[in-house]
Amino acid sequence: MIKTAIYSRVSSESERQDTERQTNELQQYAKRMNYELVQVFEEKVSGFKKNDQRPVFSKMLEMAKEGSIDKILVWELSRIGRSVLQSLQNIQLLHDLKVGLYIKNFNLETLNEDKTPNSLSMFMVQILFSVANMESQMTLSRLQSGYRNHIKKNGNQSVGRKKGNTDCDEKILNRHSDVVRLIKRGLSIRNISAITNKSTNTVLKVKRII
């Protein structure tokens, strides 16, 4: 029987409910596949932290090194690491230990049954990470450009909407009902932004209201 572990990471307490739902679905998947679920690892820490600054992740790696885990189940790629480089390094680290990674939201297996890398899945992983990274850079570039234009037109006046020009929460939620629906389904901010073609700032605003 394949020995598996679930790894769930959140960056803040506000995400805890979503993580519990994702963990439950991964547990159901493990049961459906007749896997032996060795342990569930849950961690609240920024994805930008190094592995040695992520104690729960480090503990999971130790179990992998001991041969206690054959496969790790995650909901999405960003749970392993935010940056392309960090995530790919962690996947390679697991592969060196002959431990596969299953990414549920894309239904990807990074290792074949014979423990060799799944070339197609790894190709998809690199594309997905690159697209996410490019999207993040484009968003940052737009924000910086908007800020520069504001300074050019208004000098050092504060950036933001004028007082009395705020939209009520109900109108915002109605306007972005598609975002609300995807948030309630447990999708990540980045995935919702890509699906709805709306900025991550908009998605975050809706999530804060909810």
Return d(Cα 190, Cα 169) in angstroms, integer: 22
pTM over 0.85? The answer is no
Q: How many Å apart are CA 200 and CA 135, to the nearest integer? A: 10
Task: Give 51-106 pLDDT, tens digit per residue.
Answer: 667 788 899 999 999 999 999 999 888 788 766 677 888 899 999 999 999 999 88
Q: 113 — phi, psi (to 5°)? A: -60, -30
Q: What whole-number distance in Å separates Cα of residue 188 and Cα of residue 200?
A: 10
pLDDT tens-place string over residues 25-60? 999 999 999 999 999 998 876 555 566 677 888 999
Q: In the prediction, which pLDDT does 131 show?
A: 67
Res 145 pLDDT > 50:
yes
Tell which wins on pLDDT, 117 or 125: 117
Residue 154, pLDDT above cutoff 90: no
Q: To 5 degrees, how large is the angle CA 98–CA 54–CA 192?
A: 85
What percent of the chain lies above the pLDDT cut of 90?
31
> What pLDDT, on a 0 to 100 scale, did the predictor assign at position 165?
41
Query: Does the pLDDT of residue 1 top 70, yes or no?
Result: yes
Provide, rounded to the nearest whole percent, the portion of the chain with pLDDT above 70: 73
CB count within 10 Å of CB 90 equals 17
Give the pLDDT score at 98.
Answer: 95
